């Protein structure tokens, strides 16, 4: 039968599990950032630098060759300009003819820029710039050729090169005499690179501007292309190598992420994948209008199945369950195998009833996943409502933490306790209050010990025949400045789970020993006081020595301290427990078993352990037994204890009929509200003072005190 309910949890998901999940997510993000990101950045950066270097090299190399050729041309033009200046000053016609016989086109301009003389075709551009010619040692004015603009002056003083025109020329098939001035000699082609260069004459009043023709052949261009090409090939090789490395890193990263996200048992998705992908799904703006549920889904008694059928068969079962769950998912829903037989689910839902029905149906199918077995499954659910702003408009869930939601779901599922039945449980606000209380207790526990906030209460044990106090049990209360008097049921279970119970045991033992010593010194009638020792202590090999040393430090006789063990302690390492009990008895301490009859190994415990006192569980005396069966069991338990030379204490006794029955059965002591409730130290002292102890005041009256709302275990 499947139960659907909301419950208050008893404990929360282990802290180490949340810590590991957080670390796994950080590792994923680190893997995501490394390798591919660095490789791509390196590749792009190197590609940009390489392209810039190739362009710069090509430009510098070409400029160097062009400038070298123009240097010699400039010297020739300068000499021609000087000859022209001399011819003008001497009016020497022969010299004019000589200059024109060189065949170099030129123009001569006056101070106002007008042309006063020219020779040859004037293709000089009217836009000029100051450039640097090394042979001149200074900047001079140069002009581009309007017809053949392979090169041109730049405003910054350099020479520009039209690589497009070069490319056209190299790939052209122009006959000599067409468009370009070319010569064919031994199948070699030559290209004229004209640039008009101006030289001042007549003390700067006139300008002699002549056509400088740098001749570039195909060999020059091929040298440039070869040099730059070699660099380009080298750079391309490096770029290709880096690209291949980047691709390999991408593939490697994909494989790493696959491994990082892969569950080794089901070969499906693991907890880290659920964390990353589930949170990503929830944070999408388009999904803000949907309601989601995070589910902790657990196969019960998985370990028992593995013991009976082997771990391998158990893992096969988990694979089948995983595949079956995945087959039932809708688009955008997630499922991952987390730990042991736990699965994490992210489901969409419209209302709680529909969601509970869906999970119940899933459980119903999985319960019959194997014809030879009937399985049980439990589901804890944490609901995530639609994300809206104050106006009711959908907004993205930027601050969602799926790890916290899964923890809430786990807490809800754990609230089913030790039940092995299938069930569906929702997380609710009451559970948050439990978590707040848990945090508050754990935050204050050590401070409470240091400040002495824990109080020792004593509940007397009476002889039912004489109504005389024969013993007592030490019980704890917490007098908190913030919370008032806190009953043990609200903090002891927390201490048992977080391990602080061992500190409390030491605290109680030291205070009881100190009280006993003080009462002895005052001449009070001291009786043995039993002190509970948690089963957590029995992992310590020197427990008996710890007890001895604390009692000796107070100066209290050992026979006044009784060490009380709960029956559950006998389910642990019996050999270690027996060794500790024997050492305690050798030191003079009595040892008792509390809650006899509440477990399933009571008779074995009696058989194996040399106990001094047997405390009958209070449940024996609550309710009514049909046909006197309860009285028969109690009577036989007392008789068995007596045969084993143990004293018998009945706890939880509340009515006179029970007292009379136990007295008739020769029960040694009774502890219960019929005689006395747990009381503070000062009230207990009043009962053991010599004058009151002698008269038995407070016991013979038979009046039952009002019960306080506390539970001692």
* pLDDT digits 0-9 by tens, 17-39: 444 444 555 555 555 555 556 66
Q: What is the pLDDT of residues 618-641, one digit of tens each?
A: 777 766 655 578 788 889 889 999
CA max distance for the chain? 162
705 pLDDT band (50/70/90 cuts)? very low
Mean pLDDT over 296-303 rounds to 93
Mean pLDDT over 218-230 rounds to 69
Q: Looking at per-residue confidence, does 166 or 518 come out higher? A: 518
Helix pair 271-283, 218-261: axis angle to 10 deg: 110
Residue 49 near residue 163, CB atoms below 8 Å: no
Q: What share of the chain is helix, strand, coil (3-state, %, to 5)?
A: 50, 20, 30
- Quote the percentage of the chain above a pLDDT of 70: 81
Alpha-carbon distance values, 124 to 69, 115, 133, 143, 198 (Å)? 19, 12, 19, 6, 11
Neighbours of 200 (CB within 10 A): 14
Q: Looking at per-residue confidence, does 713 or 72 come out higher? A: 72
DSSP type of residue 679: B
Q: How far apart are CA 295 and CA 378, in angstroms?
A: 10
What's the pLDDT score for residue 4? Answer: 43
Q: Kindly state the tokens that stand for 703.
A: 């009046």
Residue 660 near residue 631, CB atoms below 8 Å: no
215 pLDDT band (50/70/90 cuts)? confident
Q: Looking at per-residue confidence, does 555 or 534 come out higher? A: 555
Mean pLDDT over 302-327 rounds to 92
Neighbours of 365 (CB within 10 A): 14
What's the pLDDT score for residue 624? Answer: 61
Q: Kind and range of the H or E element at 425?
A: strand 423-426
Mean pLDDT over 169-193 rounds to 51
Domains of the chain, earliest start first:
48-229 (no CATH), 262-427 (3.30.70.270), 452-695 (3.20.20.450)
Q: How far apart are CA 238 and CA 47, in angstroms?
A: 9
Residue 505 near residue 540, CB atoms below 8 Å: no
Q: How far apart are CA 428 and CA 407, in angstroms?
A: 13
Who's near 134: CB < 8 A, 6+ residues apart?
Answer: 67, 71
What's the pLDDT score for residue 365? Answer: 93
Range with lowest mean pLDDT among 254-263, 449-458, 690-699: 690-699
Q: Torsion angle, CA of 14/15/21/23, rounded to 10 degrees?
A: -150
If DSSP codes are grouped into helix, strand and coil, which group holds residue 400?
coil
What's the pLDDT score for residue 234? Answer: 76
Mean pLDDT over 544-571 rounds to 88
Mean pLDDT over 111-136 rounds to 83
712 pLDDT band (50/70/90 cuts)? low
């Amino acid at each position: 039968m499947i139960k659907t309910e909301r419950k208050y949890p008893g404990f929360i998901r282990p802290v180490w599990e949340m810590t590991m999940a957080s670390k796994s997510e950080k590792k994923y993000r680190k893997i995501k950032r490394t390798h591919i990101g660095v490789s791509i950045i390196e590749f792009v950066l190197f590609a940009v630098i390489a392209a810039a270097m190739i362009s710069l090299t090509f430009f510098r190399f070409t400029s160097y060759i062009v400038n070298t050729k123009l240097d010699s041309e400039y010297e020739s033009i300068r000499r021609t300009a000087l000859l022209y200046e001399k011819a003008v000053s001497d009016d020497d016609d022969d010299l004019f003819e000589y200059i024109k016989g060189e065949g170099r086109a030129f123009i001569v301009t006056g101070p106002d820029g007008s042309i006063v003389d020219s020779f040859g075709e004037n293709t000089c551009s009217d836009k000029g710039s100051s450039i640097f010619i090394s042979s001149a040692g200074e900047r001079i004015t140069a002009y581009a050729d309007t017809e053949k603009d392979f090169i041109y002056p730049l405003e910054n003083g350099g020479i520009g090169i039209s690589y497009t025109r070069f490319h056209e020329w190299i790939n052209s098939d122009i006959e000599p005499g067409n468009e370009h001035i070319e010569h064919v000699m031994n199948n070699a082609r030559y290209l004229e690179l004209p640039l008009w260069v101006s030289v001042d004459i007549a003390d700067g009043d006139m300008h002699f501007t002549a056509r400088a023709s740098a001749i570039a052949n195909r060999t020059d261009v091929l040298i440039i292309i070869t040099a730059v090409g070699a660099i380009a090939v080298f750079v391309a090789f490096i770029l290709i190598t880096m690209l291949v490395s980047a691709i390999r890193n991408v593939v490697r990263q994909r494989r790493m992420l696959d491994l990082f996200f892969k569950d080794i048992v089901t070969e499906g998705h693991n907890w880290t994948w659920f964390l990353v992908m589930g949170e990503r799904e929830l944070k999408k703006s388009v999904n803000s209008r949907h309601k989601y549920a995070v589910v902790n889904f657990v196969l019960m008694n998985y370990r028992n199945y593995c013991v009976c059928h082997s771990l391998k068969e158990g893992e096969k079962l988990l694979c089948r369950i995983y595949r079956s769950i995945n087959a039932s998912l809708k688009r955008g829903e997630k499922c991952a195998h987390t730990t042991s037989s736990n699965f994490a689910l992210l489901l969409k839902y419209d209302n709680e009833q529909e969601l509970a029905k869906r999970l119940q149906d899933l459980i119903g199918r999985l319960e019959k996943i194997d014809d030879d077995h009937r399985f049980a499954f439990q589901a804890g659910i944490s609901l995530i409502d639609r994300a809206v702003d104050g106006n009711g408009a959908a907004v993205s869930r930027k601050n969602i933490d799926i790890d916290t939601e899964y923890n809430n779901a786990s807490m809800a599922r754990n609230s089913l306790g030790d039940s092995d039945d299938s069930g569906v449980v929702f997380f609710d606000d009451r559970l948050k209050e439990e978590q707040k209380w848990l945090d508050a207790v754990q935050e204050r526990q050590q401070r409470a010990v240091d400040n002495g906030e824990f109080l020792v209460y004593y509940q007397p044990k009476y002889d039912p025949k004489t109504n005389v106090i024969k013993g007592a049990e030490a019980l704890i209360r917490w007098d908190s400045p913030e919370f008032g008097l806190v009953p043990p049921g609200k903090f002891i279970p927390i201490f048992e789970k977080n391990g602080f119970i061992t500190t409390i045991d030491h605290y109680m033992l030291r205070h009881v020993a100190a009280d006993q010593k003080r009462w002895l010194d005052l001449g009070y009638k001291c009786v043995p006081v039993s002190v509970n020792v948690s089963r957590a202590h029995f992992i310590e090999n020197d427990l008996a020595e710890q007890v001895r040393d604390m009692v000796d430090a107070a100066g209290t006789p050992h026979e006044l301290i009784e060490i009380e063990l709960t029956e559950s302690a006998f389910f642990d390492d019996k050999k270690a427990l027996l060794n500790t009990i024997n050492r305690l008895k050798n030191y003079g301490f009595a040892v008792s078993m509390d809650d006899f009859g509440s477990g399933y190994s009571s008779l074995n415990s009696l058989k194996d352990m040399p106990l001094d006192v047997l405390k009958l569980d209070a449940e024996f005396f609550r309710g009514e037994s049909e046909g006197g069966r309860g009285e028969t069991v109690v009577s036989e338990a007392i008789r068995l204890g007596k045969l084993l030379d143990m004293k018998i204490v009945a706890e939880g006794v509340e009515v006179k009929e029970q007292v009379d029955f136990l007295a008739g059965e020769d029960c040694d002591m009774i502890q219960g509200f019929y005689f006395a409730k747990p009381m503070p130290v000062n009230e207990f002292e009043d009962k053991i003072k010599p004058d009151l102890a002698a008269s038995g005041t407070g016991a013979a009256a038979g009046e039952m005190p009002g019960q306080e709302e506390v539970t001692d275990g």
